[in-house]
Amino acid sequence: MAKRRTGRNVHGWVALDKPTGMSSAKALNEVQRLLDAKKAGHAGTLDPMASGVLPLAFGEATKTVSFMMGSGKSYRFTVKWGESTDSCDAEGAVTATSDVRPDRAAIETALPAFIGEIDQVPPQFSAIKVDGERAYKKARKGETVEMKARKVRVDDLRLAETPDADTAVFEADCGKGVYVRALARDIAAALGAEGHVTVLRRTRVGPFAAEQCHTLDELSDLAHKARLTEVLSPVQTSLDDIPAVAVTEGDAFSLKQGREIVLLPRIATELREKASPRTIDGKDASRWALAHVDGTAVAIGDARAGRMTPVRVFNLT
């Protein structure tokens, strides 16, 4: 029996422009196959009907997916007035209709209420687990799914254009956990209208903008030319918002062995001054920093009391 192929050790990020009609999991599998990568993950699921930026992590970059998922995101989406659906998008069944068609002035007056920290009830057709099962699976079986409101952050929300009386195009910048479909649903409700999302495109995730992304066709072409690894961004791409500190080869060895290192007083002071509130996977990450040797990531460490304790170690050398 032939030995099963396990793939290569490929490390870094690929910014994919996911097409509509494809799940995030399938898109990841396609690129993983092209790279022949052993380990892979994605940062932030996009609905099959949505297109745009989907950061894909390979190898050691998978250890930083939580950071990318916590990064700011931007979207451009189109709302069709007149009908609401159970999924809040064009794939769902119509649940209500209305003749109300909000004009530009009314829409712009309503938007400020959705900027800042807001309470949002996720759509029942979502991947959130309810009683141990994905909400969308329950909804597809015809079950009534009670979704709880949660705090999310919308940094900016703009009306981009109103092509006609039936549609409006919006742009939003937001934090982790915002459901654009729910945002559209709530905007319509505030305007006394019915509405749902017909087009949804993610234009940015953290450091990746749509202009930097590659389509599956482009990645396939590069793979055939044996040039696909050229599009890989470094593992630490997702760590741009945490401090970085250069360490010696000796300290790097210690961190990789799971041992803490002593920081120079100047560096300890700098890291303390750069500390900011941050939670990663339920842990206090306010003092986390990236340790590197000549730009190669060594570890993410918790820097306190003049010492750095490794939290996640990278095996890149």
- Mean pLDDT, to the nearest integer, of 144-165? 92
C-alpha to C-alpha distance for 287 and 206, rounded to whole angstroms: 20
Residue 72 CA to chain centroid, in angstroms? 8
pLDDT at 124: 78
> Residue-wise over 142-166: b if at least 16 C-beta within 10 A, else e?
eeebebeeeebbbeebebeeeeeee
* Helix H or strand E segment including 54: strand 51-58
- Mean pLDDT, to the nearest integer, of 222-226? 95
* Beta-bridge partner residues of 14: 56
Per-residue pLDDT at 132 exceeds 90: no
What burial class does residue 63 get, using C-beta atoms within 10 Å of its C-beta: 0-12 exposed, 13-18 middle, 19+ buried?
A: buried
* 47 included as an active-site residue: yes
State percent of the chain over pLDDT 70: 93
Tens digits of residue pLDDT in 246-258: 999 999 999 999 9
pLDDT at 135: 65
Q: What are phi and psi of 195, to 5 degrees?
A: -170, 160
3-state helix, strand, coil in the chain (%, to 5): 30, 35, 35
Tokens standing for residue 187: 């905007």
C-alpha to C-alpha distance for 191 and 233, rounded to whole angstroms: 43
Instruction: Find the catalytic residue in 17, 47, 89, 251.
Output: 47
All domains of the chain, ordered by start, with CATH? 12-70+208-236 (3.30.2350.10), 73-202 (3.30.2350.10), 242-313 (2.30.130.60)
Q: What are phi and psi of 103, to 5 degrees?
A: -90, 175
Cβ atoms 75, 203 nearer than 8 A: yes
* Helix H or strand E segment including 118: strand 116-120
C-alpha to C-alpha distance for 148 and 152, rounded to whole angstroms: 12
pLDDT at 131: 64
Tokens standing for residue 304: 């306190």
- Indicate yes or no: pTM above 0.75: yes
Give the end-to-end CA distance of the chain in Å, rounded to a whole number: 33
- Mean pLDDT, to the nearest integer, of 141-152? 80
- Selected residue with higher pLDDT from 177 and 199: 199
Nearest to 60 by CA among 93, 12, 24, 28: 12
